[in-house]
Structure 1
């Protein structure tokens, strides 16, 4: 069987990780391509591969990924078998449409967002991606949604708990703690526009068989986690809650993200001043600007944080349920190191944890293990092959259960 050609769409910090990991796994694939609206940014990633000693046959392309016909045309021209979409969440649907039309497998790492809307009604996947389920199945196109870390790996953690630990799952608490420091006064770890939009709307969680709503930073609790220790995390709205709640309807599904007081203070000031609004305003000089885009423009590029980043992340699922009628719990998690990520691929740990999983998904599609010819979320697929491969690629999974703390 001919190996599948791969196209990476995007050229940010996560795309850099994806490119390096694809290069490390090049034997699994055919031709390797990377496309971005600004082609020079794709070229810079290829240059970074060469600096790491990869004599890669990567070819860069200019692409307006908001144009689904242009996406389809490029996919057909290059005979692309697998697309790894790590561009802005705003391009998900146009890239997905291009993949369905061209017959290319599709992988993304986050839910689609409409630039004109913030925090739509749940479940978010039903607003856009899931509407194309029938089209993907009819075309025989594998589309794996949310195959980053969260969403992505944490979905696989829930599936592992279902497959190997519980007959019935009662609670899934996803906890994301970044205990690292980048040395800047203030910065976001990924696209500031996407980051802030994630926290300016309503916090949705799935509890008691229905959607519950809270304000951001309204509900917090302290978590005592491996390696990073005691950290405060807040109930947050997040992509994976919206698909996991569909599979585990009788379970409570919550997402908790760690924030320091400094981040919360800066965020609160920006929000109260209206600087996180996505709606345009006019200056006294009559110039129209979008406050959120101005904030994005003055903050550091997340990719620039990598050289100075130190510390670790801990992301995992605390899953509670019953087996043979007996209650129990299990914590399934990963710890990643910012400095290790930079030394390996030139990116910080947040980008690393987001970028390695879609490459593992691409490998599993190439091998046929995950080439399911329909649209799925990660929890719909067998978890163990994915998690074991992630361990080989640099993101090992550990489990704390009744027998102690051990690798899967």
Structure 2
């Protein structure tokens, strides 16, 4: 059993993760929050106290840390006694934090793929460029490293795996659909770090089709979806982290990611992009100042965490899975709906951060009690999804399923077969 959590990062997802850790600190133990900006860590702790989130006695402490400094990160892990590290800082930090975990023996969790600040949209599979190169080191050290365990990536990986196990003999396609039907009441803003957000959309869109990588331009392909609660929405084919592990681990020939965008977002994005303001390459001004245009845009846009108080509406994110069962065609949509206003009421956050922060804490809890403490590096779809989905149902993110039988709350133990696929790297758990 592992105890004591170090959360690295102090943005919107870290805010949610800290609240959820506090709500479950009887299992997780002491909670430490570390960031370059100490005041942000203190603000999260103040929010936890104001909301009464902490359920049991234990430390709740802030630390100043440059997580690019591996030695400093190792020292903090050791001094706090943290056996679980939740990395929800910038994706630029992943390799540094993972190295510190491997060298200290702490379990490692993140919610997004590593990125090199100087590279945008590297060649697929993205995990093969950085994370997977550390698999042998994790295995040798006996360190559990669960990659991309937010919502997408993360929960959608588990949904895909669960659907394959529970509903199909053969799966032909998985379409991951992410719709934010909310309104933040600002002229223009991104729901998470603008720099990371824009980097996703300024280069090649990679999808997995006919068992090979296919390249498209952003906003080149769109599809109209009729979804629960949010209704008919247009979404665009977009490159995304989970495709790069699910394509390898699930054996499904077609896996695509679709994200909803409004016309206003697309228009503003295209203007910024066409002017070169979304470039990660430095430019020099007439005054001789060297600036990175993307960082300037980030500096003038609203902080995503500031959107929460006035955010209204809901998100709908899920996997539309198609294939056959007993020789007959079948279609299943496994999904979650999250409410911005309810998220703010509970933890002071909007739903985008909530849907990313809850799953990583659920994974930490499964490591803490040994269910997912596998002593190696894995992506979420390599693990038994039932305890993960079941735990999220209890701590804030309820999964649902829509198929020919109708719509219902997903009880993973009632709907899954007794035995999961043999590729699972961990033992089947009991209820």
Q: 1:271-321, CA deviations, whole angstroms, 9 ceiling, x for partnerless residues?
A: 000000000000000000000000000000000000000000000000011
Partner of 2:203: 201
Q: 1:310-368, CA deviations, whole angstroms, 9 ceiling, x for partnerless residues?
A: 00000000001122222211000000000000000000000000100000000000111
* Equivalent pair of 1:154/1:174 in contact (CA under 8 Å): yes
Partner of 2:387: 385
SS at match of 2:251: coil
Structure 1's consecutive aligned runs of 4 or more residues displaced over 4 angstroms after TM superposition are: none
> TM-score w.r.t. structure 2 length?
0.93
Question: CA distance change for structure 1 residues 250 and 314 in 2, over 3 Å: closer, same or farther?
Answer: closer
- Alpha-carbon offset, residue 54 of structure 1: 4.1
Partner of 1:38: 37
1:247-262 paired onto structure 2 within 5 Å: 247-262=249-264
1:238-253 paired onto structure 2 within 5 Å: 238-253=240-255
Partner of 1:24: 23
> TM-score w.r.t. structure 1 length?
0.98
* Equivalent pair of 1:9/1:83 in contact (CA under 8 Å): yes
SS at match of 1:46: helix
Partner of 1:145: 147
SS at match of 1:356: helix
Partner of 2:281: 279
Partner of 2:106: 104
- Alpha-carbon offset, residue 47 of structure 1: 0.7
More off after superposition, 206-215 vs 48-57: 48-57
Partner of 2:5: 6
* Equivalent pair of 1:169/1:248 in contact (CA under 8 Å): no
Partner of 1:154: 156
More off after superposition, 67-76 vs 209-218: 67-76
Residue 235 of structure 1, aligned match among 228, 237, 248 = 237
1:366-385 paired onto structure 2 within 5 Å: 366-385=368-387
Partner of 1:302: 304
1:166-205 paired onto structure 2 within 5 Å: 166-205=168-207
Looking at structure 1, the residues matched to 130 and 259 of structure 2 have their Cα atoms a distance apart, in angstroms, of 25
- Alpha-carbon offset, residue 249 of structure 1: 3.1
Give the alignment's Cα RMSD to 1 decimal: 0.9
SS at match of 1:254: strand
* Equivalent pair of 2:182/2:314 in contact (CA under 8 Å): yes
Unmatched runs of 5 consecutive residues or more in structure 1? none
Q: How many residues align?
A: 407
Looking at structure 2, the residues matched to 82 and 54 of structure 1 have their Cα atoms a distance apart, in angstroms, of 20
